[in-house]
A and B are shown apart, each in its own frame.
Chain A
Amino acid sequence: MTAATDDGTGTGTGTGALLEVRDLSVAFRTDRGDVEAVSGASLTVHPGQTVAVVGESGSGKSTLTAAVNRLLAPNGRVTAGTVTFAGQDLLARSERQMNAVRGKQIGLVPQDPMSNLNPLRSVGSQIAEVLTVHKEARGREAKRRAVELLERVGITDAARRYGQYPHEFSGGMRQRVLIAMGLALRPQLLIADEPTSALDVTVQKRVLDQLDELTATMGTAVLLVTHDLALAAERADHVVVMRRGQVVEQGSVHDVLTAPTADYTRLLIAAAPSLATESLVGPAAAADPVVEVRGLRKEYSVRSGTLGRRTPFTAVDDVSFTIPRGTTVGIVGESGSGKSTVAKMVLKLEDTTAGDLLFEGKPVTGISGAELFAFRRRVQPVFQNPYAALDSRYTVGDTVREPLDVHGVGTPAERRARVAELLSQVALDPEIARRYPHELSGGQRQRVAIARALALEPDVVVLDEAVSALDVLVQAQILELLVSLQQRLGLSYLFISHDLAVVAMICHVVHVMKAGAVLESGSPAQLFAQPQHPYTQALLAAIPVGEATPA
């Protein structure tokens, strides 16, 4: 990656810039009228440079890159501005001319590898297609080159895998296939739209390393779209920060991170977990365990093989830990690690195959009926998806009040008052009780979910990826809220996440899980300073650390 010296604010008119976007505006036609997704955005990409476009959802970053490629959704159109690529005005070109540009001069690596590959066609044929469409090769020659590309992106046994279908590949490998497709014709510019967001953290790192290596070798310029500022800092030369369709700030990574000019950028930097240096919580005070799990085990019987023999699949294998009162215990792991299953077992939403669960020292493993009902008041969940967590047919007030109704707490008037109190506790206007979930933002919904969890005054709240689906600024707010609630109400948390950086911010103790087992445990400081297990080390290495630690 060549280091560019100018600040990227578009002063170079045609001076060797590969891509120049000037005052671009894009609008969409919707039910509610025209909506402007991008307003007067400008950026520049030089040959061989990597420019990252960073923003939260709704910032317009993906729309901007789609406009460059002229692949906007049918209801979108460019309302103003120019896009100049290699000296030519892309917006003026005909569809046919654009077809010649796409794939050959501008490549695309899209986000979700499963939905971006045709499931009914072999992977190899889809790569070969790039070559045949641009008449670079045909038939066997195209196949040969496609196999070569597969090898180049790190897929072993490429010749055999050429004929396989997308669902036979893992997520990371599918992403590599997409990279192969994007780079097949050695385009001058590669648009990478959140290329690894759908992948596990350790896989992300490998794939991005691979991408870096290829683009460096080929001298490809990269326009990288991401929501993760730290990732942008690690992988790009220049950063363009967008918010609500406008470019808020841009410059070299170093400049933007160490001396941001815009307030928004400062907020982003402060909120990004991997860039933050300090945890939000101090060291834990010693306390009795409120929850204890011993030797927890969960087995499913799964059909596999041609004759469908039932084999046992161990989702959780001999997991033991305690949750001291008033502290936050984190469980970190990638997909398939079993962390969510542990959460469900602690909540008693899933039965344990073996092992004990103790609450305040008393075993609760096999309880049922009235005892279970009483137990439910003490342990409550907050789940990941803010859209699915609230029943869309009921108002916020109904949802928060429901636990009180079910357990018959107080009179109806008292319950209404309690709902108002709970909403205030999560920093929401009590008036919001009359609204429906679809009128709320993701962050607000998650606050409502937290309010509902607190309704019965539980001792333990199990947070299963509770902030993973939120924008980074909102995420930071929710984390702060959780910490303050813990201090005020003496709550104990079981915090599940795939993101070690987030976990480090809020947890006192962290357990690292993989394939159903706990591999390592310790305080965040310990783990970060001296990780013992290779997997923990891999997880740490995968956290994009950014170029400089901010003040």
Chain B
Amino acid sequence: MLRFTLRRLALMPLLLWGIVTIAFFLSRSVSSNPLVTIVGERNLGNPDVVAAATRRWGLDKSLPEQYWVYLSNLLHGDLGTSFRTKSPVLDDLGTRLPATLELAFFALLIAVVLGTVGGVVAARTQGRAADGVLRVAALAGSSLPVFWVGLVFLFVFYATLGIAPSPGRLSARVIPPPDVTGFYTVDSLLAGDWPLFVDAFKHLVMPAFIMSLALLGTVIRLVRSQMLEEQGADYVRTARAKGMSRGQVLNKHVLKNAITPVVTLIGVSVGLLIMGAVLIETIFSWNGIGTYAVESSRGLDFPAITGVCLVGGVIFLVGNLLTDIAYATIDPRVRLS
């Protein structure tokens, strides 16, 4: 187990280096001129400004040199400076990351809880109406384009019915809680500000739910199929031969065995959640990594793009590693080998 973890940790720098390199060279192979973003369209005609900007931003160096500079800065924790915001990429990411994490966390929670319940119900009512409905719903969940659903929900629940709050993390003119974790929900609770918590929570519900849809469908299907498979397992028959009723067997044996793969799913879902974040945040005016990624991409902001890819990669890899550890904890066969 220890060896397994160590091996994975050792592999991470290699993978991250790969990500950084690919992101770096991809973002710089663009044909358009990033100077447009840096100095503005108007100043492009002014040779002095252009020259000064080129020097200042290191764009006069050759590409391999720029790469080397970037890597060495990276090792010192410096992710470069954004062309657009003119502030360090690390700071930019730092302020925006909690917003996305908060959203992702709730989306994950919804998907896992609702998904597990749905899957268990579907398995128990197998072949009957409830199962059919749930299976179709699960399939539908994976079939919906997240950004479109976001628009639809906003239109129906906000613009038309007025139930949902306006897009954004908080209502207009509401001051965010003092920054401890960056999660508005947690921070407002820590500050003892209940109305603020409610406001933040209400704004979270819709985007988090929509973000959870794709994952929700997968969880329902996975739990259902795992439970059905476990129900047919030999040890279930042996348990019944001991005199256990179907319900007892389900609760004491099948459930735990079936839930285990859901844990592995969490590692995989990080990718899905990041995708959801990128698409949803722009619609819901959520100031997180997703919005940053889109804006950087449009503005050809190399350092920002590379930084976002790096952060995304780290989150993905850490998520995978935690999942593997969790799985090893649950399944004694993996733990003890």
Where the two chains meet, the residues of A that have a C-beta atom closer than 8 Å to any C-beta of B are 69, 71, 95-96, 99-104, 107-108, 110, 112, 115-121, 129-130, 133-134, 165, 167-168, 178, 181-182, 306-308
Contacts and interface: CB of A to CB of B under 8 A. Distances in A.
Contacts of A306: 1-3
Task: Choose among B1, B240, B242 the residue with the greatest number of A CB atoms under 10 Å from its CB.
Answer: B242
Given A107-B241, A121-B253, A130-B243, A167 B235 contact: no
A169 to B, nearest CB: 12
On chain B, which size bracket covers the interface?
20 to 34
Nearest to B2: A306
Contacts of A115: 233-235
Contacts of B256: 120-121
- B interface majority secondary structure: helix
B234 A110 contact: yes
Nearest to A178: B238
A99 B241 contact: no
Contacts of B45: none
B238 A129 contact: no
Given A306-B2, A307-B3, A119 B333 contact: yes
Given A95-B245, A130-B243, 14 more contacts: A69-B241, A71-B240, A102-B241, A102-B243, A104-B243, A115-B234, A116-B237, A117-B238, A118-B239, A119-B257, A119-B331, A129-B252, A167-B333, A307-B3
Nearest to B248: A133
Given A115-B233, A165-B336, A308-B3, A181 B238 contact: yes
B332 interface: yes
B127 to A, nearest CB: 10
Nearest to B3: A308
B234 A103 contact: no
B83 to A, nearest CB: 46
A121 B253 CA distance: 8
A96 B239 CA distance: 15
B240 A102 contact: yes
A431 B1 CA distance: 56
B235 A117 contact: yes
B245 A103 contact: no
Given A116-B238, A120-B257, A168 B243 contact: no
Given A129-B252, A165-B333, A167-B332, A118 B242 contact: no
Contacts of B252: 129
B330 A96 contact: no
A100 B331 CA distance: 32
B260 interface: yes
A446 to B, nearest CB: 27
Given A116-B238, A306-B3, A165 B244 contact: no
Nearest to A130: B242
A129 B242 contact: yes
Closest 5 CB pairs of A and B: A103-B243, A108-B241, A115-B234, A103-B242, A102-B243
16 contacts: A99-B244, A103-B243, A107-B241, A110-B237, A110-B238, A112-B234, A116-B234, A116-B235, A117-B238, A118-B239, A119-B257, A119-B333, A120-B332, A121-B256, A129-B242, A129-B252
B186 to A, nearest CB: 34
A101 B243 contact: yes
Interface string B299-337: 000000000000000000000000000000011110010
Contacts of A130: 242-243
B238 A99 contact: no
A319 B8 CA distance: 41
Contacts of A69: 241
Contacts of B245: 95-96, 99
A133 B244 contact: yes
Nearest to B246: A95
B105 to A, nearest CB: 27
Nearest to A167: B333
Contacts of B243: 99-104, 130, 133-134
A130 B249 CA distance: 12
Contacts of B332: 119-120, 165, 167
Nearest to A307: B3
Contacts of B235: 115-119
A243 to B, nearest CB: 25
A71 B241 contact: yes
Nearest to B330: A120
Contacts of A167: 332-333, 336
A112 B233 CA distance: 12
A167 B334 CA distance: 10
Contacts of A112: 234
Nearest to B331: A120
Contact of B237 (A71, A119, A129, A134): A71
Interface string B132-146: 000000000000000
Nearest to A125: B252
A257 B255 CA distance: 49
B262 to A, nearest CB: 14
Contacts of B1: 306
A112 B333 CA distance: 18
A548 B243 CA distance: 39
A288 to B, nearest CB: 49
A308 B248 CA distance: 40
Contacts of B234: 110, 112, 115-116
A104 B244 CA distance: 11
Interface string B114-141: 0000000000000000000000000000
A118 B240 contact: no
Contacts of A182: 241
Contacts of B2: 306-307
Interface in B191-248: 233-235, 237-246, 248
Nearest to A168: B336
A100 B242 CA distance: 9
A168 B244 CA distance: 25
A115 to B, nearest CB: 4
A182 B239 CA distance: 10
Nearest to B234: A115
B242 A133 contact: yes
Contacts of B3: 306-308
A104 B336 CA distance: 34
A494 B235 CA distance: 39
A116 B260 CA distance: 19
Task: Choose among A95, A100, A308 the residue with the greatest number of B CB atoms under 10 Å from its CB.
Answer: A308
Given A165-B333, A306-B2, A306-B3, A108 B238 contact: yes
B336 to A, nearest CB: 7
Contacts of B253: 118, 121
A12 B285 CA distance: 84
A101 B240 CA distance: 11
A125 to B, nearest CB: 9
A130 B233 CA distance: 18
A52 to B, nearest CB: 19
